[in-house]
Chains A and B, each alone.
Chain A
Amino acid sequence: MNASTLFARVGGVNALPVLLMIIALPLIGSYSSWVTLTVAGLAMGMMIFLMASGLSLVFGLMDVLNFGHSAFISFGAFIAASMLALMPGFVGSSSVALNFLALFTAIGVASLFGLVAGWFFERVIVKPVYRDHLRQILITIGALIVAEQIILATWGGNPVAVPRPAMLEGSFIIGDISIEIYRVFAFGLGLAVFIVLYLVLNRTRIGLLIRAGVEDREMVEALGFKIDRLFVGVFMVGSALAAMGGAMWAGYQGLISGALGGELMILVFIVVIIGGLGSIEGSLLGALLVGLLGNYVAFLFPKLSLASNMLLMMAILLWRPWGLRPALKL
């Protein structure tokens, strides 16, 4: 059996995150540190997946790259922070139910904002420049500049503290291993979103249309469907997911600044490039790899964390120019 068939039999590219975990264990040495880092990596990966999946689908379906995507991440983070700050009683309460109510209100309002703002953004900013890449890039960058300034004008230039629900503070302790509760929650939420997206894409007629549209827009129209309407929907959901990711990230960080969207956007781009455009499976794979590698390298060689993701991207581009699991080849 040669190396490539062996690789395919153990799961192919899907096994890469597991492979990475296995390689990291002896390098890190300590079992408890490894667990902590792995959980952190998976949680971070899931949050980045939320942000990346929408961008990837929008690109796959409509060939539109939205540089303004990071604005939705930032808005989601700041709106969630403000919502939580409005509910000190719920957030600080010892009641799990009230904690959850506060948290889900914050995430829900942030996502709802993403949904509505996504609709506005698509109709006003993106629609007039369909099929013109250069102007798309320029216009969405213009919109990004405006959005960042609005955030600065609304929340000011200083970092904003994010109150975290009491029940999500602290860690699970198992032996000498400690696992932050919030990370488990972030991973669970991300996984749930992935499963829902997966089911919608693979089990519903809308999902069928989206998958077909990613492959051949024109033929979907020739079969009698209005792809523009489909696209607005996907754009809105993608923006809402970005806002949700931003909201989760705000709770994770505890302190957020206006630069957050831009910094995360780099990771999102790397994820989308690694995973391949147009597929949520690819986005998940890329996000987990980036999250894990980032955390392992941050522990082993603190200064090279981001650079390691860059190297990962370069290596994967050399190996597979269209990413690990692309839905389309450009």
Chain B
Amino acid sequence: MSDFILRLDDVHTDIGQYHILHGITLDVPEGGVYVLLGRNGAGKTTTLRTIMGLWRARAGAIVFRHHDITALHTSDIARLGIAYVPENMGVFGRLTVEENMRLASTTGRFNDDRLGRVFALFPAMEKFWTKPAWSLSGGQKQMLAISRAIIERREMILIDEPTKGLAPAIIRAMIDAFREIAQETTILLVEQNFLFASSLGAGVSVIDDGRIAHSGEMSALAGDKALQTRLLSLSLDAHQ
């Protein structure tokens, strides 16, 4: 029990009149990267948003460590140590890089050592420290969003498609960064890029039509092309 950091038990979520999640059951083990795969519209983003309390689960339970967070307010969920990097990155464009980072720190101050590690991972952050965030490139914005999530040690980071629209070189840099981040925290990663996902993830679940269609070891899925094709119709992505 205690080796799972986050458990979703038969979670149903509606958005307006649309029934999106039809009972997601998911156990995310403590430490490392856990990957959620699935086609567009399968319910991956909705799952993350439901965990964060940005959509409300209509039924089911979400347990983080020993806290039932199903009905908690988003800000209280965040205070438990869960950081969220949404698909649109959620960067405040009119604020500077520094101000963006300052908001993410609970006290409003920085730990020099920690900040140094962030700068080592993403040198662009230091370079553009006083620049408004809208002036960053897409990849740099993604780095800022991730920097915000790791400026303090979090229990868990939820990241929604960080590689979307990024150049291959930046994606490779991201892989290294994620490996390092995963040393100290648990990452729940939503991804469509199978190559990226399979190079990071230990465990994996596949969502289809608002349900978990498969859960298991990433290595098993990566080695079984037929299973990939059946679950994801992802074979094309896997070969690229």
**A: which residues have CB within 8 A of B?**
205, 208-209, 211-212, 215-216, 218-227, 327
CA distance A194 to B108 in the complex (A): 25
Q: Contact partner of B92 among A212, A224, A226, CB < 8 A?
A: A212
Chain A positions within 8 Å of B148 at CB level: 223
- CA of A215 to CA of B148, assembled, Å: 17
Is B73 a contact partner of A216 (Cβ separation < 8 A)? Answer: no
Residue-by-residue, is B95-110 near A (CB-CB < 8 Å gives 1, otherwise 0)? 1000100111010100
Inter-chain contacts of A205 with B (CB < 8 A): 102, 108
Residues 69-110 of B contacting A (Cβ, < 8 Å): 73-75, 78-79, 83-84, 86, 90, 92-95, 99, 102-104, 106, 108
B90 and A219 within 8 A (CB): yes
* B213 interface residue (CB < 8 Å to A): no
A209→B108 CA distance, assembly (Å): 11
Contact with B86, one of A222, A224, A327 (Cβ below 8 angstroms): A222
Task: Determine the main DSSP class of B at the interface with A.
Answer: mixed
Give the contacting residue for B103; candidates A208, A218, A226; CB below 8 A. A208
- Judge whether B74 and A222 touch: CB under 8 Å: yes
Judge if B54 is at the interface, Cβ distance under 8 Å.
yes
CA distance A224 to B75 in the complex (A): 4
- Shortest beta-carbon contacts, A-B, top 10: A224-B78, A219-B90, A221-B74, A222-B84, A224-B79, A212-B92, A226-B75, A221-B75, A215-B92, A205-B108
B212 at the interface (CB under 8 A from A): no
- Contacts known (A208-B99, A211-B95); A223 close to B108, Cβ less than 8 A: no
How many residue pairs between the two chains, A and B, have CB atoms under 8 Å in the bound complex?
56
What residues of A have a CB within 8 angstroms of the CB of B102 in the complex?
Answer: 205, 208
Is B52's beta carbon under 8 Å from chain A?
A: yes
Q: What are 18 A-B pairs at a CB distance below 8 A?
A: A205-B108, A209-B103, A211-B92, A211-B94, A211-B95, A215-B92, A215-B94, A216-B90, A218-B90, A219-B90, A219-B92, A221-B73, A221-B75, A221-B78, A222-B52, A222-B75, A223-B75, A223-B103
Residues in chain B near residue A215, CB distance under 8 A: 92-95
Task: State which residues 204-237 of B face A: CB under 8 Å.
Answer: none
